[in-house]
Homo-oligomer: A and B are copies of this chain.
């Protein structure tokens, strides 16, 4: 009975669009920011240029975002979601966790190759918005850990240290994404995924 009808009591002076028009503008700015930061990085990226790309005045930018860092954070959240949405279905569609891992990596690599900006932005967030970066990877790692533990329940993987395994596999994927997604596109993503799958699945120990 304390807070009344007046729209959004706490976050009163917030910058949420109240209209379809506003929503559209926010989306446009966000995309422009993705392009700008993707190309020039956070610090060489400029608000003026973002506004220009968006075909909008600088003032409009500040109508929707408090600061340069604010857009960047919004972007990180946006992308974190996009990657997950793209990759997770591929994992789930697979018959078992291990081949799911393979499908997931292939999907991830494909995604990276077509969304280099996004990839770079998430990585740079480590230095611009550490908490956002951490949040992203911690949540992904947790997803991995539970998923693996479940797979163990079904007898699809061996027992082991879920936490370490989750971070290890995640790191693996990220670096393979960097190398074979961003830097070097000469090899097919399926190929890479297969090789990585073999490693994760059977390890390096010599066949006995």
- The one of B42, B175, B205 that contacts A202, using a Cβ cutoff of 8 Å: B205
A176 touching B183 in the complex, CB below 8 Å, given contacts A98-B204, A127-B42, A200-B204:
no
Chain A window 132-153, contacts with chain B (Cβ cutoff 8 Å), 1 for yes, 0 for no:
0010000001000000100000
Chain A window 173-208, contacts with chain B (Cβ cutoff 8 Å), 1 for yes, 0 for no:
111101110010000000010011011111111110
- Are B203 and A202 in touch, CB under 8 angstroms? yes
Q: Which of A9-17, A26-34, A46-54, A155-163 is the contact stretch?
A: A155-163
**Nearest CB in chain B: distance from A119 CB, A:** 11
Integer count of this chain's copies in the complex = 2
Q: What are the residues of chain B within 8 A of A178 when measuring CB–CB?
A: 171
- Are A199 and B160 in touch, CB under 8 angstroms? yes
- Are A164 and B202 in touch, CB under 8 angstroms? no
Majority secondary structure of chain A interface residues (helix, strand, loop or mixed): helix
Answer whether residue A22 sits at the interface, using C-beta atoms and an 8 A cutoff.
no
User: How far is B201's CA from A204's CA once the two chains are assembled, in angstroms?
Assistant: 5
- Are B158 and A168 in touch, CB under 8 angstroms? no
Chain B CB count within 10 A is highest, among A42, A198, A206, for A206
**Nearest CB in chain B: distance from A106 CB, A:** 13
Answer whether residue A116 sits at the interface, using C-beta atoms and an 8 A cutoff.
no
